[in-house]
Structure 1
Amino acid sequence: MATTPLTLEPAELPPDAVEVGRIADAWGVKGWFKVLSHSSSPEALFASKRWYLQPSERGGKAFAGTVVLSIRQAKDHSDTVVAWAQGVDDRNAAEALRGARIFVPRSSFPSTSEDEFYWVDLIGLAVVNREGVALGQVQELMSTGPQTVLVLAYEEDGKARERMIPFVSAFVDKVDLPEKRITVDWQPDY
């Protein structure tokens, strides 16, 4: 079987680009590939028809810099995401992308409803309680199954510490993205 060389279009990473996943491996023989999504809800992958790739930090690199893929199709398949792109027409081409980091512009994410937030928008927000006491800054979010937990970084007695607060309406009063602040019903000694 003859293989087509992988030709990728160089591109500039959009200023609002967000890393949403990685290419795991080839899937089948026709150029499809598996994607490891950084989210349990990969809507951003499905919504964007142009994915920006950067090579993996480790291992061999089939390309350098940033390239753009025009996505023909992306879908859920057995608890994973699989995709097919222009110019990736056989298994060898798909394998050459293994490990590549996938970015999509934040502007292409689907809109959220009033009480929904993308995790990426919460990272870095300051968290204060109802009394105005600073509790820390959102370092990451963690899914614990039934709920999501805010993982806050803060300093106490000159030492870096972590605090976890369930991201549920019982404890979260308000998320103010323009002010970069989350107000919670939580005390520093909880």
Structure 2
Amino acid sequence: MQNSNVHIEKTEILSDNWYTLKKITFNIQRKDGTTETQSREAYDRGNGAVILLYNTTTKNIVLTRQFRMPTYLNGNPSGMLIEACAGLLDNDNPEDCIKRETEEETGYKISKVEKVFEAYMSPGSVTEILHFFIAEYSNDMKVADGGGLEHEGENIEVLELSFETALQMIDSGEIKDAKTIMLIQHIRLKGIL
């Protein structure tokens, strides 16, 4: 349902170099009935999907490690970030997207995924909604090395580690990625591993 208290007055494109950064000027009705004009910037990079692969026999999970420039600019000395496999939908439905991304990034070909929830990760400035999935994996599902697509500039390291190690890495700060922490905690809360 569209919010009738918001009226967009003007939208300006500030950048469309990588994705689209817009400045939106709008009127919003406050609780006291007065109307206020505000201006906000919103970065639109499309929607995405993320998955945590887990193995109930070995109690392992599969994560990735790759360079992330924004973390480097914000104090991460190496710029390397440990994450769950993720990608943009690119006009796919979320389930097809995450199956494709899983094979490209981790080398595991999965056929069955379970959607667990959706979440906005940075709603104050980014339009993206993420679709969160989990899936069980086994060694016989490994069809390639993974590592991402070279033509997309991806250089991804695949990490298979114990669930307990991953929990310790959250506590130590080695895992700082929100989507990854959310999925690891989901697995923990549901007693899956």
Give the TM interval when normalised to the shorter protein: under 0.3
Structure showing the higher helix proportion among its residues: 2
Structure showing the higher strand proportion among its residues: 1
